[in-house]
Amino acid sequence: MRWPRALETGIACGIVLACVAIGARRARADENYFGYSYGSETLPKGAFEAYSWMTWRTSKGQGSYNALDLRQEIEYGITDRLQASFYLNERYLSIDGAAPFEEEDGVETPEYPDRNEFEFQGVQASLKYNVLSPYKDPLGFAVYVEPGWSRVFKITGEKQNEWSLEFKGIFQKNFLDDQLIAVLNITPELEVRKFIGGGNKWETELALEATGGLIYRIAPKWFAGVEVRYHSEYPDFVHELTREHWATFVGPVIHYGAEKWWATLTVLPQVYGAPQDDSRSTTLHLEEHEKLEVRLKTGINF
């Protein structure tokens, strides 16, 4: 079977990141200890960092569902407290019989078709400002804003035109000589989207997310811990604030940091979600989430 051209582009992006690493000269970082949660530190002024994000989402309790969200990020320290990032996103979706069925004129049809595609997904940019240092102040704190645009719907792969605006409040508390790190992120995100071929109707949605984690330095360069993610969505929140669905994920995280690069792996199985489709699971919400998410982040400093 021939690989989609975009898939090859994804591998090329990884090679480019490696080449950037080879050319790295100066060593500075704002590395991520967690896959989903941010710390409150920012890059020093004038420093750059390149990231590669890979998130594998799999299993909807029916048929076969595999999604790979790829992201390449460049981060720059504008001042010692303010950093800017730019993101490129791609998405690979392999769906085979995983869509829920809806009845139309007495005939049951899947809500979205099977597909096997790798596509450019969209772009984002962000600003992060460090208000309090986790090393000097009783509690580290940063604020974050991220506008974005997406052309592929995350769950189904349907083409869309989506604009989003995400805010984060980032808290970090260090313990035990800064060897034990706790973080908490509170993230509201506003989204408006229109599906291509779906008329002129714009949908609005509010996503509320809380992520957090605890990680400890178990050996030089190695950290291990646990990460938690709660995600909920409120469609058409402008007219009525009703939580349509939610899911909670809990799993281990491991982080390795060398002088010029670092890597973080988080494995997050869904532990509970609602509403449930009993034919798929009696404890998990699998229409808009999956049973398992695995995220690998690598960062290179230059």
Partner 1 sequence: MRPVDRVLLLLVAPPALVLTAMPARSAQYLSTEEAQRALFADANRFEPVPVALSEGDRDAIAEVSGTRTPLPLGRIWRAMRDDQMLGHLIVDEVYGKHEFITYAAAIDASGAVLGIEIMDYRETHGGQVRESSWREQFRGKRRSDALELDADIVNISGATMSCKHVTEGVRRLLALHDVALKGR
> E strands, 133-202, where?
140-152, 159-175, 180-195
Which of 5, 25, 108, 176 binds partner 1 (CB under 8 A)? It is 176
Partnered with residue 211 across adjacent β-strands are 185, 229
Q: Which is nearer to partner 1, 133 or 161 (CB)?
A: 133
Q: Which is nearer to partner 1, 50 or 247 (CB)?
A: 50
Cβ neighbours for 246, distance < 8 A, ≥ 6 positions apart:
230, 231, 232, 233, 273, 274, 285
**86/255 Cα distance (integer angstroms):** 23
Which of 139, 218, 221, 279 binds partner 1 (CB under 8 A)? It is 221
Q: Which is nearer to partner 1, 1 or 241 (CB)?
A: 1
| 27: contact with partner 1 by CB under 8 A | yes
- DSSP code of residue 201: P
- For residue 19, give both structure tokens: 């080449």
* Residue range at the interface with partner 1 (CB under 8 A); choices 12-20, 146-154, 158-166, 189-197: 12-20
Q: Which is nearer to partner 1, 111 or 259 (CB)?
A: 259
Cβ neighbours for 58, distance < 8 A, ≥ 6 positions apart:
65, 66, 67, 290, 291, 292, 293, 294
- Phi, psi for residue 151 in degrees, rounded to 5: -110, 0
**174/165 Cα distance (integer angstroms):** 29
- For residue 145, give both structure tokens: 């804003």
Amino acid at 244: E
Q: Which is nearer to partner 1, 40 or 232 (CB)?
A: 40
| 152: contact with partner 1 by CB under 8 A | no
| 287: contact with partner 1 by CB under 8 A | no
Quote the least distance from Cβ 271 to partner 1, whole Å.
Answer: 23
Q: Which is nearer to partner 1, 18 or 210 (CB)?
A: 18
CB 262 within 8 A of CB 256: yes
- For residue 30, give both structure tokens: 């704002």
Count of positions on this chain that bind partner 1 (CB under 8 A):
56
Which of 32, 158, 262, 280 binds partner 1 (CB under 8 A)? It is 262
Quote the least distance from Cβ 233 to partner 1, whole Å.
Answer: 25
Helices (H), the chain: 5-22
Contact set with partner 1 (CB under 8 A) = 1, 3, 7, 10-11, 13-15, 17-19, 21-22, 24, 27-29, 31, 43-45, 47, 52, 54, 56, 66, 68, 70, 77, 80-81, 92, 94, 116, 133, 135-136, 176-179, 217, 220-221, 257-263, 294, 296, 298, 300-301
